[in-house]
Structures are given as C-alpha cells and as structure tokens.
Chain A
Amino acid sequence: MKTLSLKNLRKTYFDPYAGSQVTAVHDVSLDVEQGEFVSVVGPSGCGKTTILNMIAGFIPYTGDEILIDGNLVKGPGPDRGVVFQSFALFPWKTVLENVGFGPKMRGVPKDERDRTAREYLALAGLSHAADRYPNELSGGMQQRVGVVRALANNPAVLLMDEPFASVDAQTRMTLQEELTRIWQERKPTVIFITHDVAEAVFLANRVVVLSKGRVLDQIKVDLPRPRVWDHLIEDETFKRLSAQVLQMVRAA
C-alpha cells in the first residue's frame, strides 16, 4: 500500500530581488510504500529540502498532487511527523512536555500522554532526562527528543530533514544506529533528507538521488538488518552502493 505519493510535484516561487519566477523543483514523482525507509540525497540547492517542506505542508506546492494514505495534503498536519535539522524543540517546555505535545494537541488527557511520552523516551534511552529543558541537553540528546517527539504522534510518514547534520561525527553514528533500531521495532514510513551519501545508504531501503530539482535515479539497498557501522564499514555491498550513489551525486 502506498503511504505517500507525489505526482509531478513542482515548485516555482517569486524572487522579489530578481523580480522573476524561479523554479526549484521540476516534476518530481515518487511513491513510498508503507514501512519503507527512503533516503533522498543530493548536493545543496538540489531542491530536497523544498520537497520535504512541501510534503510537510510548510510551503504551498504547485504541480499535480501530494497524497498521504490517499488524502490530499493541505497545510501541515499530524499525519506527517517532522524532524528538523535545527531540532526545533520548544525551549519553554520540558523534554516530557515536548514529547507529549502531539498527543496534547489531540486532546489526550495528561496522565495518558505522559505515559506515552515516557514510553517513547525509554525507546530512545532518555528516561532520565524527562524533566530537563532542551537547553540543558547535548545536541545528540536534543535530536533524540526531536525524533521521538515526532514518533509519539503516530504519524503516517516521518519526514526527516538532515536531522543529524548538526551533531558531531561520533554522535551521528550512534544516532544513525539507533534510528535503524527504532525503525526495525516500529516500522514507520520514513523520508530521510541528507547530503551524506554513506548515511543515506546506511539507513535506507531505497535511495533517491536528486539533482537540480529532478529525480536522477533510484537505488534499492538490500543490506541485511540490524545495520551496525562496525560491520557495514567493511561490507562490500555497502561500499559498492555508496560508491555508486556518490558518483551520481558528484556528477550531478
């Protein structure tokens, strides 16, 4: 079953400085099955974040349609959970309140949403930080909160916009491994935007390569799970796939 379907998605916007229309995305079509993990890679300026923002409903789109479980996208909504590069945690809410925000918006009573939030915090190994404020956590911990906050809302699709780009290299690897583990446990549908080729291949079932607002190619990733860096770093298939994607991105 298709969870997400993009049909001839386009984006043109008016640049007041240039005084003309600029096209950022040309006719992108993409189908994502339920429980699939799709990475979208491409050099900066290839339109990948624009696409994600359109799916999320943050910016209006042009083109045919975006469907989530068969429903047309109109503006942001809880069926699409978003994980931001800048974390975008509410600084004035504790970690627990941040994670419980989605359920709160649905009108879930406090006891129940606290229970849900704690359960998801435990999933990310964050139970001890429930009553802290985001500002008091490290970048890696903040992004863990960002991920479970989106998950706790039970979205049909999880949209991740270069979520690990602003944490240090070691933490990034840990977070990537944790994400694959959580994905295996919960099987959410994920669109993962990144410019890091190895990251894209490591996480995904399918890698979509984007260039200048167009889909260049798609590559299936049939690596076994659970995926751990210690094994994959030496793995021939992983190396071959990464090299293949890298070549496409660099040629783009």
Chain B
Amino acid sequence: MLVAPGQKVRSRVAWRGMNSLVGAALFVAPLLVLVAIWAIVVPLFNVNPRIFPSVGSVAEAAVAAIGDGSLIRHIGASMLRVGLGTFLGVLVAVPLGIAMGVSPAVSAFLTPLFRFFSVLAGIAWIPIATLWFGYGFGAIIFVIFNAVFFVVAYNTLLGVSTIPMTIRNAAASLGAGRWALLTEVLLPGALPNIVTGVRTGLGFAWRGLIAAEMIATNVGLGYMLFVARDFYRTEVIVLGMIVIGVLWLFIDRLLLVPLERATIERWGLVRRT
C-alpha cells in the first residue's frame, strides 16, 4: 500500500523503533521506582512476611516456581482457557452479530436481549456453569466463552447497525453483491466495535477466569493464588498478582489497544480510551 523509496521507509521504521523504546522506558521507570520503594520499606519497617513479602522472597518464589515448572503450567492452563474460550466466543459472535445487525428492525428488536445478557456476562455464570459442567475445564471455558460471546455479539450488532445506510447504498450502486457487501462494508465497518467488544469481553473474561480458577479447578493462576492463601504464602500470592498484571498488560496494550487504534483513529471513527 504505502510504497515509498527504501531509504525513507527504513529511517521511518528506525525512528518509530527509537520512539517506542523511549516510550517503553518511560513507561517502566515509574514501576521500577515503585519496586525500589517496596524494597526499602519492607525491611525498614520489618514487615511480617505473612502480611507482605519482601522483594527478595518474591524473587525466590519466582525462581522456584519457574524451576519446578509450576508457574509455566499455571500460566499455560490459564492462557489456554482464555485463548480457547475467546476464540470460540468471537468465532460464533461475529457472524451472528453481523447477521442480526443487517436489518434495522431486527437489530432494534434484539438489542435489549443482547444488552441483558452482556450485562450478565462472566462471573454471574460461574455457579450455573459449575452445576452444568461440573468443576473443571468445561465450566471455565463456558464462563469465558459467554463473557466474550455476548459482549462481542452485542457490539457487532451495534457496529453493523451504526454503518450509515448511504455507505451500504454506495457499495451497492458500485456493483457490490451480497458477499462483497459483507466483506468490504459490513465487516470493516463493524470492526472498531468488534475490537472494542473483544477488549471489554476479554476484560470480563479475564476476571471471570481468575474467579473461576479460585473456585473450580486445581491448576491455573487463580488457583495458584488461592492455594497460597491457605498457607499464608504471601510471596507466592504477590508473584501471582504481578504475573496476572503483566500478562493482562501485554494482552491489552500490545494486542488490543493497537488494534483499536489502528481501526478507530485511522478511519476517523470515534476515539476511545
């Protein structure tokens, strides 16, 4: 698409690389300061390790958990659940949302329904999911699936119904058939909403995952935290919290936010957080 002379492209890429490096440094610096404060305060006030762990003990816990492979196992289990549940949710929600959004009358009729269910999405389904599927993988996948599904379907529906009729007319008058209308107009037009839906839905799903893992399984980050509590192992709890935070930060900031920005801002559609 953007074909510029090689030299120019390379320098632009280099500049962007520098920029994001500086940005990352500026982003990490305050967090490092926070760690430094933690490292000073805990020994200074002689905090009971059963109340709050020292930096050293968390680091030791990290080394130990990495060494025996348990941390990787927990992360793997959690990510697999989120990944699979989200994938299934999006896979079903997007076609359904588009199909429902095409007709204004149908989408107006269905909007309250989907709104109701997207309000319920996630944690509120844990009790019934565990009853239907038993404690374990199935129940957790179900919770994540429906957290993502209803929010994404609702947003897709919303996205399709907000594409101006004139744009659909324009495509039709330029010779677009049904399939072309779908791929060239409806899908890209709803994409910003879909991405926002995935971001919100994943937010609910992530929390639902942690909650469900505390209740309904024997592996995963939520389980790791909850078991550590039984033994007052605050260093494991804090380690788990940091892992959860970093993972989500990566998912959200490196995957979802750039995607949202690429579509919404470039195309001049509504700006968001």
Contact = CB atoms under 8 A, between A and B. Distances in A.
Interface residues of B, number: 25
A88 B169 contact: yes
A77 B185 contact: no
B145 to A, nearest CB: 28
Contact of A56 (B164, B173, B188, B189): B173
Contacts of B171: 90, 101
Contacts of A180: none
Contacts of B177: 105
Contact of A91 (B166, B184, B268): B268
A102 interface: yes
B12 to A, nearest CB: 14
B263 interface: yes
Given A57-B173, A90-B167, A131-B1, A101 B267 contact: no
Contacts of B164: 86, 88
Which residue of B173, B177, B263 has the most chain A CB atoms within 10 A of its CB atom? B173
Contacts of B175: 77-78, 102, 105-106, 153
Interface in B143-185: 164, 166-167, 169-177, 180, 184-185
Contact of B166 (A81, A84, A149, A150): A84
A105 B183 CA distance: 12
Given A88-B166, A105-B180, A133 B172 contact: no
B237 interface: no
A23 interface: no
Interface string A69-90: 0000001111011101010111
B33 interface: no
A93 B175 CA distance: 17
Contact of B174 (A105, A133, A159): A105
B269 interface: yes
Interface string B199-243: 000000000000000000000000000000000000000000000
B8 interface: no
Nearest to B167: A88
B261 to A, nearest CB: 14
Residues of A contacting B: mostly:
loop
Contact of A82 (B2, B169, B185, B268): B169
Contact of B173 (A80, A89, A131, A136): A80
Which residue of B174, B180, B266 has the most chain A CB atoms within 10 A of its CB atom? B174
Nearest to A131: B2
A56 B176 contact: no
A90 B266 contact: no
Residues of B contacting A: mostly:
helix
Interface in B1-41: 1-2
Contacts of A105: 174-177, 180
Given A86-B164, A86-B166, A131-B1, A91 B173 contact: no
B184 A90 contact: yes
A192 B243 CA distance: 63
A213 interface: no
Given A84-B166, A88-B167, A94 B173 contact: no
A81 B188 contact: no
A134 interface: yes
A92 interface: yes
Contacts of B169: 56, 58, 76, 82, 84, 88
Interface string A91-107: 11110000001100110
A166 interface: no
A82 B170 contact: yes
B268 A135 contact: yes
Contacts of A102: 174-175
B191 interface: yes
Contact of B267 (A88, A92, A131): A92
Interface string B238-273: 000000000000000000000000010011110000
Interface in A125-157: 131, 133-136, 149-150, 153
A75 B172 contact: yes
Contacts of B2: 131
14 contacts: A56-B173, A58-B172, A78-B173, A78-B175, A82-B170, A84-B166, A88-B164, A88-B169, A92-B188, A92-B189, A92-B263, A105-B177, A133-B268, A150-B173
